[in-house]
Amino acid sequence: MRRAIFPGSFDPLTLGHYDIITRGLSLFDELIIAIGKNADKKYMFTLEERVRFISEAFKHEPKIKVKTYTGLTVDYCRKIDANFILRGLRNPADFEFEKAIAHTNRKLSEIETVFLLTSSGKSYISSSIVRDVIRNGGDYSVLVPETVKVN
């Protein structure tokens, strides 16, 4: 079985994430959206909200599971027997950052990282931009799946 994880904080899930997840489905038998928990990070959305946003967005897709984890991503991969890490790339800066992480993960384990380029119409979207739009009362609905709701 080709099991992959797509790790991130997903604070919140964006259309860019959605694009990578949807396109990644054809590559793997199972795709686990792995929401990392970092006690040092301040999130806009609770962990429960982030799980709900993703679970609802993909509720009709049996190949997707939504899980949370702490610690190193490669340790979590070993724990759940995932052989691949899926990552999205928006721009050259993302590539340089993700390349260093992929090399480190490969050094620590036998887990391969698979990169997908975000579709051109979504490459400008990031969670930090979405959070800024939300904080300033803008229309964030054009940047996220409809399951993402601000209370």
The residues that are catalytic are 17, 41, 90, 127
Ranges of H-type helices in the chain: 15-24, 47-57, 73-80, 92-108, 127-135
Q: Is 21 helix (H, G, I), strand (E, B) or coil?
A: helix
Which own/partner contact pairs does 53-57 have at CB distance under 8 Å and 24+ positions apart?
53/10, 53/12, 53/13, 53/144, 53/145, 53/147, 53/148, 53/149, 54/10, 54/13, 54/147, 56/147, 57/13, 57/18, 57/145, 57/147
Distance separating alpha carbons of residues 69 and 27, to the nearest angstrom: 23
Residue 131 has phi, psi (to 5 degrees) of -60, -40
